[in-house]
Amino acid sequence: MGIPRGTYDILPNEVTTWHYLEKTAREICARYAYEEVRTPIFEETSLYERGVGETTDIVEKEMYTFLDRKKRSLTLRPEGTAGVVRSFVENKMYGESLPVKLYYFGPMFRYERPQAGRYRQFHQFGVEVFGSDDPALDAEVISLGLAFYRSLGISGVQVGINNVGTPEIRAKYFEKLIEYFAPFEAELDQDAKSRLYRNPMRILDSKVKRTQEIAEGAPSILDSLDKASMENFERVQSYLQELQVPFQVNDRLVRGLDYYTQTAFEFMIEELGAQAGVIGGGGRYNGLVQELGGPEVSGIGFGIGLERVILALKEQNVAIPSTKPMDCFLVTMGEQAQHASVRLLGELRGAGLKAERDYLDRKMKAQFKAANRYKARYVAVLGDEELASGKIQVKQMETGEQKSIAMDQLVSYLLEGK
């Protein structure tokens, strides 16, 4: 028996990093006036078929789908957007004052081939905004993502943006692409071939060399955009400039999900490589709310892969703020002292101090060692003598300074020393 392929345990010493990520994200979301939403980890399979798209890799081959005991088809969420849109519709959030600005964290599940920065259970921090077409919101969402990386202390994040038009524009663009790629059909890789007539845009982000070479000459979506989309794209860019967000227009940027309209973007760190370097992505999805049974309300958001963010933190040697240090370790000697320490420990913790004692009947030296492992600021020694006198020996570990303190003064002494 072992852990399933593509999953991993987050052990206590790594949880600190996760708390740091979540805390940073929450602080930034609060500044931008986003509120947290929590949706289920599984949804009806049809939500993703309709929401994410039948021709996407996710729906075609990556979903963890199962039948429950009543033979309902359910799927572990492969991404966050579809579930949040379902919740937005089901809870009639469109009736609230718009825009509705939401964020979420959580595990996502995709049956992919595991490799660096790619897991079968991974975690995203995501945001979704509903109810406004204003390109200033596109810029806001992109700058929020960038603010997250920057606050963590990650540098070198590149922002790539594109405009993938409306479904009508894309239908015409698909024809152009098919026309362009068809003469090369025999030279395309298997994946690209299978996409040629169903979703030819996906060929543009192929990782296969020959296919890439062929794709280089393919027509650009930007040449197919109508006036409104082009103007929209220009406004998004000018707002990004206002926010001093550096970006690159990349007309080959196609996202792997079908719901996008207009703005599409990705966050990238080159040093992590082509795969793990894509540390986040998102875009507009103006038809999705309607597709999932709601009114005509537009949306935009992103998903950031937190495992890849952690890779970047490690790669760039970013120091993670450490957890609260131990305030006091109680060293006990003798049965009576052990007994008395229970109450004292309770008092320390009750006063909000982080405190611990020995539970293994260890010798004094070993107890001091344990205190050092906890990086305890103070060690208080409690033995028969101290119990008799009502005074306790307290050692400040950094300076080595020792003091004898009345036992009932320990809490206030430690609180003052904080």
- Which residue, 113 or 418, is less far from ligand HAM as judged by CB? 113
Q: Which residues contact 263 (CB under 8 A, 6 or more apart)?
A: 135, 138, 161, 162, 163, 232, 233, 236, 283, 284, 300
DSSP classification of residue 111: -
* Span 29-48, contacts to ligand HAM by CB under 6 A: none
∠ CA 208-199-232, nearest 5°, is: 105
Does residue 308 bind ligand HAM (CB under 6 A)?
Answer: yes
Q: What is the nearest approach in angstroms of ligand HAM to the Cβ of residue 117?
A: 6
Sole binder of ligand HAM in the list 202, 282, 394, 395 (CB under 6 A)? 282
Contact indicator for 328, 353 with CB cutoff of 8 Å = yes
Which pair of structure tokens corresponds to residue 218? 């393919």
* Span 248-267, contacts to ligand HAM by CB under 6 A: 256-257
182 phi/psi in degrees, rounded to 5? -50, -45
Which pair of structure tokens corresponds to residue 192? 């690209």
279 phi/psi in degrees, rounded to 5? -95, 0
- Which residue, 229 or 332, is less far from ligand HAM as judged by CB? 229
Does residue 81 bind ligand HAM (CB under 6 A)?
Answer: yes
Sole binder of ligand HAM in the list 48, 104, 122, 148 (CB under 6 A)? 122
Sole binder of ligand HAM in the list 80, 99, 135, 145 (CB under 6 A)? 80
Contact indicator for 318, 157 with CB cutoff of 8 Å = no
Does residue 160 bind ligand HAM (CB under 6 A)?
Answer: no
Contact indicator for 127, 280 with CB cutoff of 8 Å = no
Between CA 110 and CA 163 the distance in angstroms is 26
Does residue 165 bind ligand HAM (CB under 6 A)?
Answer: no
Sole binder of ligand HAM in the list 135, 145, 294, 303 (CB under 6 A)? 303
247 phi/psi in degrees, rounded to 5? -150, 165
Give SS3 for 289.
helix
Does residue 50 bind ligand HAM (CB under 6 A)?
Answer: no
Does residue 281 bind ligand HAM (CB under 6 A)?
Answer: yes
Does residue 109 bind ligand HAM (CB under 6 A)?
Answer: no
35 phi/psi in degrees, rounded to 5? -115, 150
Q: Which residues contact 399 (CB under 8 A, 6 or more apart)?
A: none
Q: What is the nearest approach in angstroms of ligand HAM to the Cβ of residue 308?
A: 5
Does residue 124 bind ligand HAM (CB under 6 A)?
Answer: yes
Sole binder of ligand HAM in the list 51, 53, 83, 126 (CB under 6 A)? 126
Sole binder of ligand HAM in the list 131, 200, 277, 280 (CB under 6 A)? 280
The residue whose Cβ lies closest to ligand HAM is 305
Binding-site ranges for ligand HAM (CB under 6 A) = 79-81, 110, 112, 117-119, 122, 124, 126, 128, 256-257, 278-283, 301-303, 305, 307-308
